[in-house]
């Protein structure tokens, strides 16, 4: 089970790295001037490749997390809270895919300021999850 735990942590860290960087690309996309087609195309390519890369990492992180949950039989309110945060993180990931599709089709109307706040969500989720897993406050 320690191997499963190690790979779970590796995939969680990798998934979060993508969730930290993808919205940052969205900030840059929202700031691209209308006449800068090459810059927009380059950022869209980066965002698309990153999204495609981190999606399987998230699936593996969740799969290994479930394996640990069922293997160890963890219980406690902290785990239920963590599970809700992970479900929220999956929704955030899906939302990133929707936002990427909006950028690709040219219908995104959100400002770079909105994306700067959106970019902070995974940081807050990571802090909460780490506290729940390590401290187990309830």
89-118: pLDDT as tens digits: 999 999 999 999 999 999 999 999 999 999
Q: How confident is the model at residue 74 (pLDDT cuts 50, 70, 90)?
A: confident
**Residues of the chain by 3-state class (helix, strand, coil), percent to 5:** 85, 0, 15
pLDDT of residue 6: 97
Neighbours of 35 (CB within 10 A): 7
pLDDT of residue 51 exceeding 80, the answer is yes
Q: Which of 1-5, 71-75, 84-88, 108-112 has the lowest mean pLDDT?
A: 71-75
Report how many domains make up the chain. Answer: 1
**Which residues form the domain of 50?**
2-135
Neighbours of 72 (CB within 10 A): 11
Query: Which 3-state string (H, E, C) describes 116-138?
Result: HHHCCHHHHHHHHHHHHHHHCCC
């Amino acid at each position: 089970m320690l191997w499963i735990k190690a790979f779970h942590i590796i995939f969680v860290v990798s998934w979060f790295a993508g969730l930290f960087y993808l919205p940052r690309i969205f900030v840059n996309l929202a700031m691209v001037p209308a006449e800068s087609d090459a810059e927009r195309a380059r950022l869209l390519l980066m965002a698309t490749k990153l999204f495609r890369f981190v999606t399987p990492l998230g699936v593996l992180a969740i799969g290994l997390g479930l394996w640990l949950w069922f293997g160890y039989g963890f219980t406690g309110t902290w785990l239920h809270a963590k599970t809700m945060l992970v479900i929220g993180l999956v929704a955030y990931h899906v939302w990133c895919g929707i936002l990427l599709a909006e950028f690709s089709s040219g219908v995104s109307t959100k400002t770079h300021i909105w994306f700067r706040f959106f970019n902070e969500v995974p940081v807050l989720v990571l802090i909460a999850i780490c506290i729940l897993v390590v401290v187990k406050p309830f």
